[in-house]
């Protein structure tokens, strides 16, 4: 099997690969239809995902300057209204005024494209760049778990490589980049990750190693994960003989919109090659 030449590596598909190479193959290369529900109870899970989608839209509207009272009217239940009020009362601040909302960046790395869609990028020209990501999962993950997530490693690395596409007047070092996770489950305790050149080197090497592993498995086979706890919330578990019953939605790490489903016009995205 060959990796398509126009394939884009993102936080979602790389995280899937880390958790289970076979899931990566089924989902992104074979485009296998999902034969099972992801988690129980189904309606509650779908409702939670819907709230997360609308919440991100509300934050996006607020960040581009729409009136607060008009945005609040979209909160159709008390849970969503509570998230919105928590956001207004505890959003990270102060953030630089120059902002890019729901902004996509891409770059060529190795033989393939890296791509990410950022909830918010705030720039203080020549001084700092801050990434903010709004998380609507049912619980806040431990900091150590967040630090190991692909998103925490890919986003600041990709932003560093593409910073000139956002600010052509300055050159930024990794030390000028910070990533902030804000959680509806714990709005008063965001997690801050300050970047560094040493970390950027490690992340670049790690991402390249993952891509090389994908290329290797594409020539041989994609193995099943040895961490079977991932299988309970995987929609392909029945295909792999890893169980029939769906796991609990409480077990899911990140219940966000999948950026691999986004309709991205690549010719409208600035690219940095290295």
166 pLDDT more than 70: yes
Among the residue ranges 92-96, 105-109, 115-119, 226-230, the one predicted with the least confidence is 226-230
257 pLDDT more than 50: no
Position 251 scores a pLDDT of 47
- DSSP letters along 106-146, please? EEEETTEEEEEEEEEEEEETTTEEEEEEEE--SSPPPHHHH
Strand-pair partners of 112 = 109
Mean pLDDT of 242-265: 50
Position 235 scores a pLDDT of 83
- Per the model's pLDDT, the better-predicted residue between 80 and 47 turns out to be 80
Among the residue ranges 5-9, 72-76, 247-251, the one predicted with the least confidence is 247-251
Mean pLDDT of 5-16: 95
Position 165 scores a pLDDT of 94
Position 33 scores a pLDDT of 81
Position 270 scores a pLDDT of 44
Position 41 scores a pLDDT of 57
274 pLDDT more than 70: no
Task: Tell me 223's DSSP state.
Answer: P
267 pLDDT more than 50: no
Please report which confidence band the pLDDT of residue 37 belongs to, taking 50, 70 and 90 as the band edges.
low
Q: Which CATH class is domain 40-218?
A: alpha beta
Most confident of 74-83, 221-230, 246-255: 74-83
Position 73 scores a pLDDT of 95
Position 43 scores a pLDDT of 72
Task: Tell me 34's DSSP state.
Answer: P
Q: Write b or e for each residue in 173-190: b if 16 or more Cβ atoms lie within 10 A of its Cβ, otherwise e.
A: ebebbbbbbbbbeebeeb
Phi, psi (rounded to 5 degrees) for 135: -110, 130
**In this predicted model, what pLDDT tens digit does every residue of 42-64 receive, in sequence order?**
577 788 889 999 999 999 999 99
157 pLDDT more than 80: yes
d(CA 240, CA 164): 44
């Amino acid at each position: 099997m060959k990796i398509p030449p126009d394939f884009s590596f993102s936080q979602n598909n790389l995280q899937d690969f880390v958790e289970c190479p076979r899931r990566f193959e089924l989902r992104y290369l074979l485009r296998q239809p999902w034969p099972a529900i992801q988690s129980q109870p189904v309606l509650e899970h779908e409702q939670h995902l819907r709230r997360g989608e609308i919440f991100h839209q509300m934050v996006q509207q607020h960040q581009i300057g729409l009136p607060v009272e008009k945005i609040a009217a979209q909160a159709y239940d008390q849970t969503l209204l509570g998230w919105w009020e928590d956001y207004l009362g505890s959003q990270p601040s102060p953030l630089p005024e120059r902002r890019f909302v729901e902004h996509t960046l891409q770059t060529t790395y190795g033989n393939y494209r890296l791509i990410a869609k950022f909830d918010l990028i705030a720039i203080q020209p020549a001084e700092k760049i801050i990434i903010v990501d709004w998380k609507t999962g049912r619980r806040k993950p431990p900091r150590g778990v967040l630090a190991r997530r692909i998103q925490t490693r890919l986003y600041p690395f990709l932003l560093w490589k593409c910073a000139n596409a956002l600010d052509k007047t300055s050159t930024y070092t990794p030390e000028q980049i910070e990533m902030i996770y804000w959680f509806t489950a714990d709005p008063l305790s965001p997690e801050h990750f300050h970047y560094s050149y040493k970390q950027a080197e490690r992340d670049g090497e790690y991402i390249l190693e993952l891509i090389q592993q994908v290329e290797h498995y594409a020539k041989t086979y994609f193995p099943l994960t040895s961490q079977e706890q991932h299988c309970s919330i995987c929609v392909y578990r029945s295909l792999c003989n890893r169980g029939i019953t769906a796991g609990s939605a409480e077990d899911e790490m990140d219940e966000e919109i999948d950026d691999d489903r986004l309709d991205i016009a690549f010719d409208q995205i600035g690219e940095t090659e290295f």
